[in-house]
Amino acid sequence: MTHPKRAGDDSVYQIKVTLKGSHPPIWRRIEVPSHITLYKMHRILQITMGWQNSHLHEFKIAGISYGENHPEYGLEMKAERRARLDELVPEVQHTFVYDYNLDESWQHELLVENILRREIGVHYPLCVGGDRACPPEDCGGWRGYGELLEIIQNPEDVEYHKTLEWLGGGFDPEAFDLDAVNKELKKIR
């Protein structure tokens, strides 16, 4: 089922995505067509991780930043809309970084674990595994997330009800719904 160590036109990358700094690890394993652009990869990562796509992001590959330029923030990046994954990360065991919400710096390490042959009848992208929910948007980075977890575990905390309301009624840090993720990924063509 595996290819040689390099991608071809009918290849699928198996990538492990790990939210850096998460203990226990927050991770996903995805399979994506090798020729997708980083722009589409961003959309896939938003869905698989559970983010809301409301902040700036960038990919860092071999010392080069890819994304959308935002001169007002001093961000100069190479265009992600034409940057193909198989051209930038051509072999297994390559790692690169996806940084989401540059203020809170949710850095994701992406490791190309394998290059597979595309299976007929399978829709790609596909999430094949994962564990734990990603932190809620705008919770304040790792420090804020830690405080949030303490608050929601203590009904006596003065911020408990306000925090639950902000979270929309609750948050389970252990939750990950593979079927729901794949249902959303089917919308990506």
The reported pLDDT for the residue numbered 58 is 94
Arithmetic mean of pLDDT over the chain: 92
Nearest by Cα to 18 from 138, 128, 106: 106
CB under 8 A, 24+ apart: contacts of 74-77: 75/102
Instruction: Give, for 114, the enclosing helix (H) or strand (E).
Output: strand 106-117
Q: How far is residue 68's CA from residue 58's CA, in Å, rounded to a whole number? A: 8
Alpha carbon of 55 to those of 89, 102, 127, 141: distances in Å?
25, 7, 23, 13
Confidence check: pLDDT of 96 > 70:
yes
For residues 81-93, give the mean pLDDT.
95
Separation of alpha carbons 18 and 28, rounded Å: 7
pTM of the model: 0.92
Question: What is the tens place of the pLDDT at every residue in 12-31?
Answer: 999 999 999 999 999 999 99
Contacts of 71 (CB under 8 A, 6+ apart): none
Neighbour-count burial for 72-95, b at 16+ CB within 10 Å, e otherwise: eeeeebbebeebbbbebbeebebe
What single DSSP character describes residue 2?
B
Q: Are 19 and 26 in contact (CB under 8 A)?
A: yes
What superfamily in CATH does domain 11-133+174-185 come from?
A: MM3350-like (3.10.290.30)
What are the pLDDT digits (tens) for 167-187? 998 899 999 999 999 999 999
Measured distance CA(75)–CA(67) in Å, rounded: 9
Q: Could you tell me the residue ranges of all domains in the chain?
A: 11-133+174-185, 135-173
